[in-house]
Amino acid sequence: MPSGATPDPYADPLKFGQRVQILRERRGMTQSQVADLLGLSPHTYRKIENGQMKAPGVEVVLRLAEILRVRDLADLTGRPEAHIDLFIGPGHPRLAEVKRAIDGFHLTVTVEPPPVAHLEARLHAAWKARHASKNHREAIGKLLPDLIHDGQALVRHADSAADRRAAQTLLAEVYSLSQFFIAYQPDSSLLWRVAERGMIAAQESEDPHAIGVASWLLAQAHRDSGSRHYDAADAVNREAVQYLEPLLPDASDDVLAIAGALQFELGYTAARRRETGTAWRHWDKANDMAGRLPETYYHPVTSFSRAVMGAHAVTVAVELRQGGESVRQAARADEAVIKSRPRRARHRIEEARGYQLDNQPDVAIASLEKAYEAAPETIRYNGYARAIILEAVESTQAPRRRRAADLAAKVGVLAA
C-alpha cells in the first residue's frame, strides 16, 4: 500500500481500535465527538482506539456502530461471523420490479396515459394502504411500477403547460411514495435518484405542497447519509420553509402541515448535532403550526398533525441523549393516537430508544414488541431497533434474553 494511502478498515490484520479510528475519520468526526455520544471521557475513548483497553462490551460496540453508521457489524469487529446488517434492512422481494420501473424510460413505445382523476384516485388509495397496512412496503410495492409508468406517461403526453404542471405534481407524489418504499433498503443510489427526480418534478409542477413534500424527503436523504450531510439537509429544509412562509396566512391545511413538518426536520437535525436549544425551538414552532390544524387532521404523506407532536418530542429527546426526558415525553405521547401504522411503529421504536437510554431495557423490548405488532416491516428495516434487540439477546438476564431472542427471530435479526 502506498505510504500516503488510507488504511482499509476491512483488511486484516487490523485491531478493533484501528478499525474504529479509520471509520471515525471517514465519518469526519473527532474523538471528542464520538466520546461524547458514547458517554465516555475523551481519555477513556482514546484508550479504545489506541488498543490500551480490551475490546468493549456489546453495548458499546452497538453504540459505536450506530454513531459511525456502520452498515455491517462485521465491518466494525473484523469478525466475519458477526455479519449483521444494522442500518439497512433486507431487500424487499418487490425491490427489483420497482427499480426497473424507475430506471426505465419508454421513449419509443406509445403508452396511453390514464386520466388525471384516475391517477389521483389510485395515489390516494396507495397512501391509504401505506398507512393502514402492517407491511406497508408490500402494500405499496405492488402498486408502484404501474404508478411510475403512468405518472411518466402523463407528463410526456401533456398537451399544455397547465396539463404538464398538473402531471408533474402527480409524478412528484409517485416519487414520494417510492421513497418510502426504497428507504433503508440496500440500494442507496436508487434512493437518491428517486429523491432528486421527485424534487425536479415538484419544481416543474410549481405546486407549493409538492415542493414542500419533495424538500422534506430530500432533506431526510441528506441527513440519513451521516453527519457530514447535515448542512445540506438544513439548507434544503430552510429554503423550503422560506419559500412557503409567505403563503402560510392563507394556506390550505396540507401546505400548513408540510411547513410544520419541515420545521420539525430542522429541529431533528439540530438534535442530532446535540444543539438542545435550537432543537426544541424548532419543535415549538412546529407545534404551533400543528395547533392551527383541525384536531382530526393528518397530513397524507408525513403524518404531521397535533397527535404526532408528542412522538416528535420523544425523537428530539432521544437524539439529544436525554433519557429521562424521552421517557417523560413518551408517557405524554401515549395520550394521542397515531393513525398511521408505520408511523405508530416508528414512534414505538423511538420510545424504546428512550427507555434504553434511561436504563430500562425490559421496557424497551416491550416497546419494540408493540412496534412489531403495529407494523412488522417498520421494525424489520430499522437499525436502532435491531441494535437494541441484539444487545438484549446478549443479556445475562435469562427472561430478557429469551424475550429478545423471540423478537429477533420474528424481525429476522437472528435465524428462527
Which residues lie across from 72 on neighbouring strands? 85
User: How confident is the model at residue 72, as a pLDDT?
Assistant: 64
Neighbours of 242 (CB within 10 A): 10
| DSSP 8-state secondary structure symbol assigned to residue 106 | -
| 309-to-186, 230, 406 alpha-carbon distances in Å | 30, 22, 32
**Cell 433486507 found at:** 90
CA distances from 268 to 36, 51, 190, 191, 304 (A): 18, 34, 24, 21, 14
d(CA 376, CA 302): 19
Burial 255-276 (b: 16+ CB within 10 A, else e): bbbbbbbbbbbbbbbbbbbeee
Which pLDDT belongs to residue 55?
Answer: 67
Q: What is the pLDDT along the chain (416 residues), one digit of tens a residue?
A: 344 444 444 444 567 888 888 888 877 778 888 888 788 888 888 888 888 877 677 777 877 877 777 766 666 776 654 545 555 566 789 999 999 999 987 776 677 889 999 999 999 999 999 999 999 999 999 999 999 999 999 999 999 999 999 999 999 999 999 999 999 887 888 999 999 999 999 999 999 999 999 999 999 999 988 888 999 999 999 999 999 999 999 999 999 999 999 999 999 999 999 999 999 999 999 999 999 999 999 999 999 999 999 999 999 999 998 888 988 888 887 767 888 999 999 999 999 999 998 999 999 999 999 999 999 999 988 888 988 898 888 888 999 999 999 999 898 876 43
Whether the Cβ atoms of residue 184 and residue 200 lie closer than 8 Å to each other: no
202-207 contact pairs (CB < 8 A, 24+): 202/168, 202/169, 202/172, 204/164, 204/165, 204/168, 205/165, 205/166, 205/168, 205/169, 205/172, 206/165, 207/165, 207/168, 207/169, 207/172
Say what the pLDDT of residue 15 is.
79
Write the DSSP assignment of 354-371 as a string of letters: HHHHTT-HHHHHHHHHHH
pLDDT value at residue 186: 78
For residue 1, the model assigns a pLDDT of 39
